[in-house]
Each structure stands twice: as C-alpha cells, then as structure tokens.
Structure 1
Amino acid sequence: MLDLEDQVNRVFNPEVRGLVREAYRCYTAGSSRAAIILTWTAVCADIIAKAQILREEGEADARDVVAEVEKAQTSSEVEGTRIMQGVERDLPATAEKLQLIDFTQRRLLERIRDDRHLCAHPSIRPLGELYEPTSEYARAHLAAALDALLVHPPSQGRKLVESFRDHVADPGFIYDTAYLAHAFFDRVRPAARAKVVELAAKFAVLQIDDPANPVDAAVFADRMAACLRSFAERDAGLVKDCVAKQMVRLGTATPEVQLNALGRLGDMPAFWAALTEPLRGLLDARIETVGSPPPGRIVIGGKLKPVEARVLALVGHADVRKQLPALAAAFESLSALKRAQVIEQRPDPYFATYLPQLMTNVRSFDTGQAFAEQAVLPCAGHLTRPQLEELLTAWFDNSQCWGRAMPGYLVELYRRPAHLGPDRGALWDPALDDLDDDARAALERERTKDAGGDGA
C-alpha cells in the first residue's frame, strides 16, 4: 500500500503540493467529499502547469490547452468560467495526448472528475439524495492521482527516452548514478521507465553501431552498461527482463559482439539471470580460444585484444568462474605479459597470489615498470601480509625490478595496503640500501605517519 504522506511530499509542482496536502488533511479528518473535490482541483492545476512547461519546450499539442487557459484568464468572469469548464472537462484526455499519462490512468482521472461532480453537485443524482463517498474512496482517488500524475515531472514517455539517449550519447557525458536515477528512473512512470531500461539494455548487450550517435559504438555501449548498473540498484528484476529480451539477438550476433557483451556485463547478476544455457555454453567455448592465434599461424609474445583481456578478467568473480569453467584455465595458460593485461582490467583479491610470479618473470626495466603499474599497485589494497612479503621478496631479488620509476612505486606499494597496519614497514628494510635518497626519505615519512608521527 502506498504511503500517502510520503507521496504527498513528493508532488512535483510546489504550488500544487499545497492543494494536495489540503486534500490529504481532509481525508485524514474524515471529510471525504472535500478530499475528492480538492484532489480533482490539484489534478487540474497540475496538468495545466505541465502543459505550460511542455509548450515552452516546443510541444505543439500543449499549445491549444495553454491558449484556452490564457484566453479564460483575460476574459470576463462568466466567459472565463465557461472556457475553463470546457478545458477542465477534457484535461484527462489532454494529459494522455501529452503523454503525461496512459489510457488506463486517464480513466482513473476521469473517475475522479466524475466523482468530484457528484460531490460538488449532489442534485445531479436521480432522486436528489446526497452523495456520501467513503474515506476508502477518497483515499483511492488521492492515491491514484499521486501515482499516475502528481509526483511525476512533465516528462513525456517518448521524449524522456530520447532525452536519455541524447544524455548518454553526449561527448561530454559524465556518469553520475544519483543523477541518472533521479532524472530517468525514480520519478518516471513505470511504462517510460521500462522503455529507458530496455534502450540501455539493447545497446549495452548488442553494441549497435548507430550512425546517429556522435560517439563510438563501444563507448556508447559501455555507457549504457553503466546506466544499467544504476538502474539495477533500483529494480534488478526490470533490468533482468530487459536484458533477457536481447538474448535471442545476442545468440546470433558476431563472436566479437558476444565477447564484448560478456566483458561489459559479465559482473552483473541480471546478465546471468537472463542468459540462456545454450548461449552460456557458447560463451564458455569461445573463452577456450581467447588469446589463441588463428589456425595455421604461430604468434610469439604479443598482447591480448582489449575485449579478450576484459573477458578473462572476469575470472576474479567466483560466481562467474562457476558459470564459465574455461575462465580459470584460460587465465592460467597466459604469459606474464598477458596476465598483467588481464589484472589491469579488474584488480581483485583473486589476482594477489599471481603478483610475486609476475615480478619474478620481469626481464627488463620497462617490463618491471609496466607490471607494477598494471597489476601490482592496483591490487596492493587486496594483499594479505604473507602475499605482500612474497611479492617484496620477488621484487627485491630481481635486478630488473629496479628501473627508474620503481623506487617511487615501492613507496606507493607501502601506502596502499594500509589495512595491514604499520608493522608491514619492516618488510621494506631489506630494500632501504637500494633506494635513492628521495625514495628512502619518502618511505621513512610514510612509516613515521603510520607509527603515529606527523611525517614531517
């Protein structure tokens, strides 16, 4: 059951909110007739105000009703009343035409209008008896008006979806989950909300190359995937249903599109809930070939494609490893260079045990620096003390881990696993003589801070 008081406080238009609060007070005081009359008054005021906003935004269908209201405002009292009676009679249909409500909600508003007339004009009943609405009836009307119209901004279904798409496609797009939820989900009617989520799911899953988008298809798909995560926090079931609608097309898409969808959405429970078993098996089979050269070709060294690294990085998720058993074996088979690529995509505690081996396999200063940047430092916050000790031993024992930037990275490695406490500082003692003066001083400052000093 709706919390009416909470809904009343969420009415979009501040001026209309006062009318709605008055209707709510009448309902709680037991004055059902007054509550219904005021509810209809609030509905009328809200539709007219939203029509005025839409007209300013260029909506042609809003011009006529706003023109009629303005005509009434400049006419005589008698003529103005007559004009407004005509406007009021058609307001539910006007709201539907403006896509503020759908046809079922229009019928609810029409019922409020009709019952308002019974409350205000008891003589229209056949025998002239007074109409006595119950408190439950008054509550139902107020709840219907709030849910269908009053708490929502003047966003039309079709235009809201277009606005969402334009927002995500903007070259200057900034991902802000609070804004996305507020503008395109929380205060949006269920039908429009579903359309928004379905649009996000379609592009996130299928990576459609639309010439109308000013950004690259992969970038647009990544942005839509981020939006899906925000929406899933509000309604995981809706996101799952919308993702499921794309699975038939994903099953017939190219291998590249399929792997991109997996890499982009593979950490979302909604993706796995929507994935069919045949498609899951196909993806698992594709992972077995990730990083492998084409048949008949021998490739020595080299790097993974970005999509391959992104997919293999899902090995850090225990649930995904269960869904795709090939992941663990595929990661284990990689060279040190490719493992660092994978770890860079999604740093995770799972990869912490692989870091010492990476540093042992460093064969040049450049490689050591790359491994530190891609894997060691991003995962440092996940290390246990034994893992850190093993990692430092591998680092100190390999002369190729002492390139120009590495002393500074060693200091940064001290900062990041702060969860291990100040006692971890002793693990750096064997390297003190190998650090330059600046790095040694920086490390000592960090250790002093951890010990409770000011580090100055």
Structure 2
Amino acid sequence: MQETLADIEALTLRCRSDQSKSYIAEANQCYRAGAYRAAIVSTWVAVVFDLIDKIRDLSVSGDANAIALEHKLTTYIGQINSGNQQGTSKALEFERNILATCRDKLQFFDQQQFVDLERLREDRHRCAHPSFQQVGVPYRPSAEQARLHIRNAVVHVLSQPPVQGRAALAGIKTTIASQYFPASVDKAVAELRKAGLVSPTDALVRSVLDALVFGFLTPDDELYEKDQAVTALNALHEISPGLVEERLGLQLSKAINDVGDDRFLSVFYLVASVTRAWDLIDQPSKARIERFVEVAPYDDLSPAIGALADIDELRPELQTRIRGFNLDELAGVVEFPQVHDACKGRAFELLAESGSWDRTNAVITRVILPLFEALTAEDVTTIVRLPKERRADLLGAHTYKLFVDRVRDAELMEGSELDDLLTNNGAEYLVAQA
C-alpha cells in the first residue's frame, strides 16, 4: 500500500497497541531533540520488542511456528537468567535473524518491507557500534533517514495486527466460508477489515485474492463454488483496488487457460460476477469465454446470464443464444432484467408460433407476463397483431384476456387506441364496454 511521509507524531497514533506506542515514543523524543543516532537505535528496539510480542500473541492462539519460536526465546532467557553465556549468544542470534524469521515463518511482511526493515537494522548497527566506522568519525545519519526509519517501523510493523501470513489467511478464509458472511459488498468490506484487513500488507492482499480465486475453483477447498468467495473478491477490490486489479487479471487468465471443461463453468462464473474481471483478463481468455457462450450447455450457461449481459463485448453472442432458446429455457432466464430486451424478441416469436390455446397460455404465463414491466406500447402492438399477421392462436385463450386487461390497467397505451388495435386484429370481444 502507498504511504506518504507523514508527521511522525501522527504516525505514532497508528500503532495498534499502547505497548507499541510506548516503544516508539522514545525514538520520537530523540528525533525531536536532534539525536538521530539514538532515534534509529530506539526505533530498532521498538521493532524487535513489537515482533516478539506478536510472536507471543500468535503462540497463545496456537500457531505452530510461533509456538516453536516462543519456546526458543523462553529457553534463551532462562539460560541468561541462570548465568549461561550460551543463552546470551543465542538471544543475540535470535535478534539478528528476527526479520528473516518473521518474514519466512510467519509472513509478517513482504520482500520490499523486509528490505526497508533490513536497512533500519543496518543503520542501527552503524549508529550503535563505533567500531564499524573510521576512527574518530562517528556515523551521522540525517534527519530524513531517522524519520524514514520511524515511518517504516510504524507502517510495516507497529501498526500491523499480530496475525499476518498463513495464520491471517487461514482466519480470513474461515470468516469468508462461514454461512453468516455478509451477502452485500459493503458489509463484507467491514467484515474483512475486522478479520485482519484493516491495513493489510500487499503480500496478504495477494494471498487472500489467490485463496479466493483458486479456492472457488478447487473441489476440496472450503470456498469451493461459494457465493461468499465472489462477494469477498468484490469487497477486496473495494479495500485495495489497484493491487487487486493487477493480480486478478493474471490469476483469472491463468485459471481460464488451465482448468478443464468440467470446471470451466466455475471460472466463467467468476469472470461474470467479479468487478472488472472481464476487462482485466487477457485476449485468449476472452476468446475462450466467447466460445463458451456460443456452445455451452444451457444448464452451464444460465446461472451467469444476468452478469454476462453487463459485459458489452459478450452481448451479441448472448443475444444469439437467447434467440435459440425454447420455452423452458427462456422461462429460466426472464428473471434477469439485464436480458429483458433479448428475451422479449424470443418470447414474441414463441407466441407467434403458438398453434393452440394451451400453448398460448403457457407462453403468456411463463414468459410474457414475467416480462410485463419491460413491455412498451410498441411491444403490445406487436403481440395484438400476431393473430392477424402470423395466425397465432391467441383469440379465445384466457391468458390473452388477462394480458389485455393488464395492459389496460397499466395504461401502456390510450384506451381508445388499444380498443382500435384489438378491433382491427380480431379481438373485438376484448374491447372495453362503455
């Protein structure tokens, strides 16, 4: 995530705990006094103590790696207290490697953050060890160096929750997989922040995204084909849009080209349902999805039709498919407002082909009336003319009267205009009585 070089006092307020604030307070005091060497040394001490506190917190929560590390540290402290010099050397080695340990075993920070913190450790050594410098020339860090180290310490470590990496990912996945995970994106954003994504590292955001995409596509995963995963992906986009878009396009393109036909519906559903997914995938992936829309079995295609209709580039293929739907298939998709225009044309054609009252009643009941809110006066005219122009068997069907009555009640056209239309097309018996 991007940060500005804010005032260090304001940065201090971002520390998660009172302990973290107290750790960095001494560094701030040194900075204000112009003692930049002391500020850097105090900042390193704050980072080490905060990381150790986080290891202990994770140990209490049951993280295996944290338990092993906490056991080592406890052993070294016990040796020091008993006067065993080996404990001192081991504790110093533990401190020397603490950044790499927390990166590799606990995933507290990514590689770039590790580099920033390594620079702090190196500058701490130059500030604290005169023997590292030319005789008589002590190291003199600038105010900007000290300020940057304080900033990095707060942003990368002191402001972060004690759970990152694998432990955080496992907890977030469990939250998302729960049947009580919110269905709305806004509420899902709040839930994810509460679960550990308040100010997440870039590495954690990428890990969560990967877990959601590939978990949704993996049969034995707790997120397999769960709607919560789609909602969480859209919520993650709200939390970190730039990073998510960069990663999402790569991972979805990979999935589209790697999965077999038996699981293609799942990745297809992700592209249709996740924010900006279609725009982010590569061209070969788009071509494969277009082909899927053209030839996929109806049962595979229908669940994602509503979302697909929002993708401009897929609309022509989708309209072509809808024009070939039978009554049962069309009835299964008229619920999606996004495809009402395409559905109307096919519904009128099915009604025009009606050769019996039973068929007319079925078409009007199953597709015409469900589309009623999308009908215009022009559409009404098209339907009323079908008996005369296409010999459709509408006249006398009881649902045809229901349709006309509803048109009249909804005032889709002037009463006199409707009556003239009915009279001219063989439906005088439906004209309103004075």
**TM-score, scaled relative to structure 2:** 0.67
| Percent identity of paired positions between Structure 1 and Structure 2 | 22
Alignment counterpart, residue 159 of structure 1, candidates 167, 171, 175: 167
- Tell me, in whole angstroms, the C-alpha distance in 2 between the residues paired with 1:324 and 1:428: 30
Query: How many Å separate the matches in 2 of 1:57 and 1:184?
Result: 15
**1:136 aligns to what?**
144
> SS of the residue aligned with 1:4?
coil
1:79-94 paired onto structure 2 within 5 Å: 88-94=95-101
Structure 1: distance between partners of 2:100 and 2:258:
43
Q: Which residue of 2 aligns with 1:338?
A: 329
Partner of residue 203, structure 2: 191
Which one of the candidate residues 52, 66, 71 is aligned to 1:64? 71
1:321 equivalent in structure 2: 312
2:209 counterpart of 1:209: no
Structure 1 segment 259-274 matched on structure 2, within 5 A: 259-268=265-274, 270-274=276-280
Distance (whole Å) between structure 1 residues aligned to residue 377 and residue 158 of structure 2: 58
Give the superposed CA RMSD: 4.7
How far the C-alpha of 1:230 sits from its partner, in A, is: 1.9
CA distance in 2, matches of 1:189, 1:100: 8
Cα pair 1:321 1:327 within 8 Å, conserved: no
CA contact (8 A) 1:356 1:390 kept: no
Distance 1:63 1:370, change over 3 A: farther
Does structure 1 retain, via aligned residues, the 8 Å contact 2:230–2:274? no
Distance 1:249 1:236, change over 3 A: same
Q: CA 1:56/1:280 → structure 2, altered by over 3 Å: closer, same or farther? A: same
The structure with more radius of gyration:
2
1:10-409 equivalence runs, <5 A: 10-20=14-24, 23-24=27-28, 26-27=30-31, 30-58=34-62, 59=64, 60-64=67-71, 66-67=73-74, 71=78, 88-96=95-103, 97-101=105-109, 105-106=113-114, 108-119=116-127, 125-175=133-183, 176-181=188-193, 183=195, 185-204=197-216, 207-210=217-220, 213=221, 217=224, 219-220=225-226, 222-233=227-238, 234-251=240-257, 253-268=259-274, 270-290=276-296, 304-305=298-299, 307-314=300-307, 316-317=309-310, 320-323=311-314, 325-335=316-326, 337-344=328-335, 346-348=336-338, 351=340, 363-364=360-361, 368=365, 387=376, 399-400=398-399
Which string of whole-angstrom CA distances, capped at 9 and with x for unpartnered residues, describes residues 363-403 of structure 1? 5599748876x666xxx6xx6xx849978x989x9853899
Report deviation, 1:129.
4.1
CA distance change for structure 1 residues 365 and 143 in 2, over 3 Å: closer, same or farther?
same
Letter in 2 for 1:42: A
Higher mean C-alpha displacement, 189-198 vs 172-181: 172-181
Instruction: Give how far 1:43 is off.
Output: 0.7
Which amino acid counterpart does residue 263 of structure 1 have in structure 2?
Y
- 1:255/1:84 CA distance change after superposition, 3 Å: closer
Q: Deviations over 1:45-78 (max 9, x none)?
A: 21121011011022322323552587499889x9
Alpha-carbon distance between aligned partners in 2 of 1:227 and 1:137, rounded to the nearest angstrom: 39
> 1:219-245, CA deviations, whole angstroms, 9 ceiling, x for partnerless residues?
33x432322222223234544534424
Q: How far 1:136 sits from its partner (Å)?
A: 1.3
Distance 1:339 1:30, change over 3 A: farther
Q: 1:338 to 1:168 in 2, by over 3 A?
A: same
Distance 1:198 1:81 in 2: 42
Distance verdict in 2 for CA 1:367–1:290, change over 3 Å: farther
Distance in 1 separating the partners of 2:323 and 2:11: 54
Which SS does the other structure have where 2:332 is aligned?
helix
For structure 2, the residue ranges without an aligned partner over 5 or more in a row are 352-358, 385-394, 416-434
Secondary structure of the corresponding residue to residue 215 of structure 2 = helix
Tell me the SS of whatever aligns to 2:107.
coil
Whole-Å separation in 1 of the counterparts to 2:106 and 2:269? 40
* Other-structure match for 1:416: none
CA contact (8 A) 1:316 1:351 kept: no
How far is the alpha carbon of 1:138 from its aligned partner? 0.5
CA offset at residue 158 of structure 1?
Answer: 2.3
Note the alpha carbon deviations across 1:395-446, whole angstroms, 9 max, x for none: 9x9853899xx9xxx9xxxxxxxxxxxxx9977998xxxxxxxxxxxxxxxx
Aligned residues: 379
| Alpha-carbon distance change, 25 to 402 in structure 1, aligned in 2, over 3 angstroms | farther
Q: Which amino acid aligns with 2:159?
A: V
Contact kept? 2:40, 2:123, Cα under 8 Å: yes
Q: 1:17 to 1:261 in 2, by over 3 A?
A: same
Distance (whole Å) between structure 1 residues aligned to residue 106 and residue 46 of structure 2:
18
SS in 2 for 1:136: helix
Work out the CA distance in 1 between the residues paired with 2:243 and 2:125.
Answer: 41
Return the alpha-carbon distance in structure 1 between the equivalents of residues 209 and 266 of structure 2. 19
> Are 1:259 and 1:311, in contact at CA under 8 Å, matched by a contact in 2?
no
- 1:135: how far off? 0.8
* CA displacement at 1:24 relative to structure 2: 4.3
Q: Following the alignment from structure 1 to structure 2, what is the Cα–Cα distance between the partners of residues 117 and 256?
A: 58
Distance 2:149 2:51 in 1: 16
Q: Which amino acid aligns with 1:139?
A: R
SS in 1 for 2:268: helix
- Rounded to whole Å, the distance in 1 between the matches of 2:319 and 2:182 is 34
Contact 1:123 1:129 in 2 (8 A): no
Residue 137 of structure 1 deviates from its aligned partner by 0.9
| Per-residue deviation, 1:13 | 2.7
User: What amino acid does structure 1 have at the position aligned with 2:319?
Assistant: A
Q: For residues 118 and 339 of structure 1, do their structure 2 counterparts lie closer, same or farther at Cα, with a shift above 3 Å needed?
A: same
- Residue matched to 1:294: none
SS in 2 for 1:160: helix
Q: Deviations over 1:270-329 (max 9, x none)?
A: 4324434344333323323356xxxxxxxxxxxx52x32134334532xx2324531122
The structure whose RCO (Cα within 8 Å, separation 6+) is larger is 2
CA 1:268 to 1:36, structure 2 compared with 1: closer, same or farther past 3 Å?
A: same
Q: Distance in 2 between matches of 1:126 and 1:353?
A: 80
Which runs of 5 or more residues in structure 1 are unaligned? 292-303, 411-423, 431-456
Decide whether aligned partners of structure 1 residues 24 and 208 sit closer, same or farther in structure 2, where only a CA change above 3 A counts.
same
